[in-house]
Amino acid sequence: MKKVLSLLLFLLCVLPVFAEDTRMSAGLGLEWNMDSRHNFAGGALLGFDYKLPRFASAGFFLASSSNFNNTFVVEPALVFRAYRNEYEFSGFFFQNELGVSFIIEDGRLTSLPLVGFGAGYRFLLSSSFYVEPYGRIGYPFAFGIGLMAGIRF
């Protein structure tokens, strides 16, 4: 596991050096959500997206959440995102999410379809780095509010 994380960190640091045009991005984030029936949950996200022509991008994210009691949730999802600024791959965005929610509650595994809608703003800190506050609503998680930080390459 340490080797995989070290390789990922190395690639995230080295790839922007060779990139002429930023077409992809990868980020990590933290989220506060209602991914549990009984209480709020805290979560972590790993996201990746690829810039499509004009104002859109497509990608995926993997989120995991826990209410720190008896519920643990893993959410892999595909994401389609539309940016308000054409060609910029930054600024205001709206996104659709489609995936599966794997819920482990009291030792039982349940899987439910995941459908979500979100919005946020991608702030560019440089040509390669960004910070992204966002919010999302959907099923079965109700809502999520978070902050991602990442790299464009």
Please report, in tens digits, the pLDDT of each residue of the chain (153 residues total).
666 556 556 655 655 554 456 789 999 999 999 988 778 999 999 999 999 988 999 999 999 999 988 899 999 999 999 998 877 788 999 999 999 999 999 889 999 999 999 999 999 999 899 999 999 999 999 999 999 999 998
C-beta separation of 69 from 37 below 8 A = no
C-alpha distances out from residue 2 to 6, 7, 32, 61, 75, Å: 6, 9, 27, 21, 23
Which pLDDT score is estimated for 102? Answer: 97
Which pLDDT score is estimated for 48? Answer: 97
Which residue in this structure is represented by tokens 């994401």? 79
Which pLDDT score is estimated for 13? Answer: 60
| Ordered structural domains, the chain, with CATH | 2-152 (2.40.160.20)
22-47 tens-digit pLDDT: 789 999 999 999 988 778 999 999 99
Q: Rounding to the nearest 10 degrees, give the CA dihedral for residues 116, 8, 31, 54.
A: -40
Which pLDDT score is estimated for 106? Answer: 87
pTM: 0.83
Which pLDDT score is estimated for 2? Answer: 62
Which pLDDT score is estimated for 140? Answer: 94
The amino acid occupying position 117 is: F
The amino acid occupying position 49 is: D
